[in-house]
Structure 1
Amino acid sequence: MNEPILVTGAAGFIGHATAHRLIERGETVIGIDNVNDYYDPSLKEARLSTFNGRREFVFHRMDISDVEAVARIVHDNSIRRVVHLAAQAGVRYSIDNPFAYQKSNLAGHLAVLEACRHAHNFEHLVYASSSSVYGDKPIGGEGFSEDEPASNPVSLYAATKRSCELMSESYAKLYGFPQTGLRFFTVYGPWGRPDMAYFGFTDKIMRGEPIEVYGEGKMARDFTYIDDIVDGIIGALDHPPTKGDNRILNIGDSHPVGLMDMIRTLEGALGLEATKTLRPMQPGDVTATYADISKLQSLTGYKPRVMLQEGLERFARWYKEYYRIQK
């Protein structure tokens, strides 16, 4: 297969890492991203700069909801495989900016679906969903299973991600092209998103400012290192389902970590102790996330390898190096 792979959200955290891995194994990648200002665009530009000089990477600065532009890129480049990661992220941001999610997540996903259904000999669409579709769940017990109904989202962000899954289900049935929706859990690591808790905590700890710990620290997250996530994405891409199938898979670590434990691990990685201010849960937050990854493991052999301590140490080293250059 010599046709390029389209990666949407290529200036984003996961898209950037996925595009690099695809290039490393000999693929040509076409990346698209609108490089918006949801968080510091200079970080997105810095991610893009890591592709400088790579002829295997072609970038288009455009909005994913531009139906004609997306269709043109897919058609003109004979795209047969798409990794669709572009989206408006963030649970809390969706409360004050709901229409950003309508445009990027709903209209953007539909634009990709339309482009794929008109593509010649299209092989596989892998798209990003989210663990937030499961709603809230107490700490303890079994992990989230793909067989659960996912019918009670507690944020607009979650509702749009579940809507994307349902749109894909209808397109798979109507037009027959294979799709895989990946429900991401909490992804972290170098080049990560500044709106994520571990990154924001690091900013404040390094400045000597107190951190606000929501849910009074009684939350847990399934932290998954970026390299492990990319393993799962590419493993899923290489194993398309049968035609007419929209397969849903969890992608996480399957070992939830309490928020206070994560903070202690981060303090160790930074060599600094945080001053903590405990706050109640915020609207849209969930108590715990915990991935049952048995389906992805069975399909691809997926096995997360980087434990939280090592992953946060790698992030801390990257953070100190990156911001020493920038400031």
Structure 2
Amino acid sequence: MKILITGTAGFIGFFLAKRLIAEGYDVVGLDNINDYYDVRLKYARLEQTGIAQDEIADGQLISSKKHPNYRFIKADLENENVVRKLFETERFDYVCHLAAQAGVRYSLQNPYAYIQSNIVGFMHLLEMARRFPVKHFVYASTSSVYGLNGRMPLSPHHPADHPISLYAATKKSNEMMAHSYSHLFRIPVTGLRFFTVYGPWGRPDMALFLFTRNMLADKPIQVFNRGEMIRDFTYVEDIVEGVKRIIEYPAEPNPQWDAQNPDPASSSAPYRIYNIGNNQPVSLMTYIHAIEKALGKKAIMELLPMQPGDVYATHADVSDLEQAVHYKPRTSVEEGVRKFVEWYRTFYRVSQSI
């Protein structure tokens, strides 16, 4: 089975690529390796899968030195010609689209980057999936689409019509675009709303990375809304297990779907939306205490007001995921944070004594 995974120099895409390579998929990874955060981390992830930095060239498929069933291409999804050529040549069975311009706060500073990557790039993938049909088109959405919805736990069967950041709005747009293509062209599409993903090899702009780095350097950490937030922190390998199972479970029309009472999570088209979250939300202060325990030192906290675009709480209802593929995430925050800290110390060569 041949699959295109976009974003394989990124956090979740890297883990998914490793998993599917190990399971014998014929994997093609794509990433533009942009400088939204430290590209050295992105190249280090690629090295783990046998893709050497000095062999990477724009628009060129290169083979892994470690895995005969893995190839990588550096490309922008906004470049329609490159995307079309890739689909025309490779004829993918599956697409798992994880590449995106991420980050709620950055969307306040550079909104156009989100339109180009998350809207234009997504459109090109949908159009190629129409021209060169695939068995299943899976894409990453986000818990941020719930926005002002305060009904907990957050369910894909609830409306998600009030996003409060441009990042979230582009992801909600992806869901709507995917539905239209599924309805018009009968493409099986599934959107996965991820809830605060963390773990080894994680993004440097995320709280766990920022907190760990500053605490090790005896610098203050910025704690927004004075720590009065709740998050459904989800360990990356739990996310990947859910994604892998969904890829192999193509969306189908819901025979009970009612146009007079439309269910947002399904359709008369082969379309589905699922949450992937830990289903065990914890307070931000509990998360910080887990980092303190893993590091063996106390945090110096700078308590700040709420940031624009942030939400107060997330809590994933994952009953649909559990029913569909018999899986729900189960890694505790304490275990996941400990694994991240162990990776961080090794990768950045930080001694235990610091």
Fold conserved between structures, TM > 0.5: yes
Q: Cα deviations across residues 174-231 of structure 1 (Å, max 9, x unaligned)?
A: 1111000000110000000111111100110011101110011000110010110001
Aligned twin of 2:162: 152
1:55 is displaced (CA, Å) by 1.9
Aligned twin of 1:208: 218
1:137 is displaced (CA, Å) by 4.9
> Of 102, 127, 142, which residue of structure 2 is paired with 1:89?
102
Contact 1:136 1:287 in 2 (8 A): no
Q: How many residues align?
A: 320
Aligned partners of 2:24, 2:332: CA distance in 1, in Å? 28
Q: Which segments of structure 1 move beyond 6 Å, counting only runs of 4 or more?
A: none
> Are residues 1:125 and 2:137 paired?
yes
Aligned twin of 1:5: 3
Aligned partners of 2:225, 2:323: CA distance in 1, in Å? 35
Aligned partners of 1:165, 1:65: CA distance in 2, in Å? 18
Aligned partners of 1:115, 1:10: CA distance in 2, in Å? 19
User: TM-score scaled by structure 2?
Assistant: 0.89
Aligned partners of 1:162, 1:51: CA distance in 2, in Å? 32
Contact 2:190 2:273 in 1 (8 A): yes
- After superposition, where does 1:7-86 map in structure 2 within 5 Å? 7-52=5-50, 53=65, 54-86=67-99
Aligned partners of 1:108, 1:198: CA distance in 2, in Å? 29
1:125 maps to amino acid: F
1:274 maps to amino acid: A
1:108 maps to amino acid: G
- Consecutive unaligned residues of structure 2, counting only runs of 5 or more, are 51-64, 254-268
Aligned twin of 1:300: 325
1:148 is displaced (CA, Å) by 1.3
Aligned twin of 1:174: 184
Aligned partners of 2:81, 2:18: CA distance in 1, in Å? 27
RMSD of Structure 2 on Structure 1 (CA): 1.1
> Of 105, 121, 128, which residue of structure 2 is paired with 1:108?
121
1:130 is displaced (CA, Å) by 0.5
Contact 1:135 1:150 in 2 (8 A): yes
Contact 2:191 2:273 in 1 (8 A): yes
Q: Cα deviations across residues 105-128 of structure 1 (Å, max 9, x unaligned)?
A: 0001101101101114x2000000
Contact 1:137 1:289 in 2 (8 A): no
Aligned twin of 2:308: 283
Contact 1:136 1:288 in 2 (8 A): no
> Are residues 1:318 and 2:343 paired?
yes
Aligned partners of 1:267, 1:212: CA distance in 2, in Å? 15
Q: Cα deviations across residues 4-39 of structure 1 (Å, max 9, x unaligned)?
A: 210000100000000000011111110000000101
Contact 1:34 1:61 in 2 (8 A): yes
- After superposition, where does 1:256-267 map in structure 2 within 5 Å? 256-267=281-292
> Are residues 1:218 and 2:228 paired?
yes
User: TM-score scaled by structure 1?
Assistant: 0.96
> Are residues 1:185 and 2:195 paired?
yes
Aligned twin of 2:258: none
2:40 maps to amino acid: S
1:305 is displaced (CA, Å) by 2.6
